[in-house]
Amino acid sequence: MQEVELFNLGPIFKLLLLAAVVAMGPLAWVWLRHRHQEAPQRVRQLTALTLFLCFDLVLFGSFTRLSDSGLGCPDWPGCYGHASPFGAGEAIEAAQTAMPTGPVTLSKAWIEMIHRYFAMTLGVLILTLAVFSWKRDRSVWGWPTLSLIWVCVQGAFGALTVTMKLFPAIVSLHLMGGMLLLVILLMQLLRQCHAPWAQSRIPLPTSVRRWLMAAWALLMLQIVLGAWVSSNYAVMACNTYPLCQGAWWPEMNFDKGFDLWRALGMDGDGQALPFQALTAINFTHRWHAMPVAALLLWSSFLLYRHGLTTQARGLWLLVLLQIITGISNAVLGWPLLAALLHTGSAAGLLLLISWALGITESRPSGHIPATFSRPDL
């Protein structure tokens, strides 16, 4: 089979031009729809739209992975040196003929390239927001700058995901990077919505904020474990619930399962990864989910008790969805819809906890007023 140059920057300018043209759509829509508003209000709307599109991109990235399309174009940033699969048709056909059950097909190439087009367009929108903050509103430049830096880091992880042939650690970092970009864009939006920032935050007892921070950290760890399950294709290592392979404690190999720097399907010595290692990966994610769910439900109760009913109800619903889709992935053979909903609800939970932390501040219980003015959320 023909050797492929993994990094081929030949089509980079065409791809950047395409991303700029596509980005003109949401930019024009926001500016025209809110043309009678002041510039900061239009920027706020663009940030909200960018956050929404980033959430969509996380889901589409999950779809790319679940459909085994991550290597549909085995080079970066184009597809066999072309800006689209149209120009790479001959190379794709040759690769598919040489390996009929391999990762390269025309449909998978399109899925992978659409994911890249989407990511580059998001990068253009984030760059636009950063430039505006530098020129017009330097009081809120921190988050836009961080989002710009982080989307570039995400692009690097995306390139390495392809060129390192779905290396599990890189794939996991790429997924986590997408989740963190969501949080950064949310903080950017909240910072734009509340000015001055310090006077608009809702007071919460210090103990409640600590519970929320613990929930955020434990949820992030659970998402990391979920990314490790997905990147190692370990979902079906336990295909029943609550038992795994008919046992509460099946045979497992944690050392090989959590050897982080290794190729897909291999252990650290270059040998085939044993099934017991995949079982250990799945088992850890499954049982860590229980304290995470309990802490999220407790956080939901605390938020409801202190008047943050939207976030509280959202947590309840998304925890329930996580449980249903998590079990469905095991017992129904990893259906695509359930897997996508599992990823989406995890991102939603992270956003809700981050939202609650972003609009509140710690106050000693005795210093919280009986009533306070809730900011416009």
Point out the residues that are catalytic: 112
Measure Cα distances from 83 to 53, 80, 106, 123 in Å. Answer: 22, 9, 14, 17
Among 155, 171, 186, residue whose Cα is nearest residue 354: 186
Among 344, 372, 228, residue whose Cα is nearest residue 286: 228
Measure Cα distances from 99 to 17, 69, 136, 239 in Å. Answer: 33, 15, 54, 29
* Cβ contact 355:194 at 8 Å: no
Q: How far is CA 191 from the centre of its chain?
A: 21
Q: How far apart are CA 224 and CA 222, in angstroms?
A: 5
Q: How far apart are CA 124 and CA 48, in angstroms?
A: 15
Provide the 8-state DSSP code for 104: -
DSSP codes, 61-73:
HHHHHHTT-TTSS
For the CA atoms of 321, 324, 330, 335, the dihedral, rounded to the nearest 10 degrees, stands at: -60
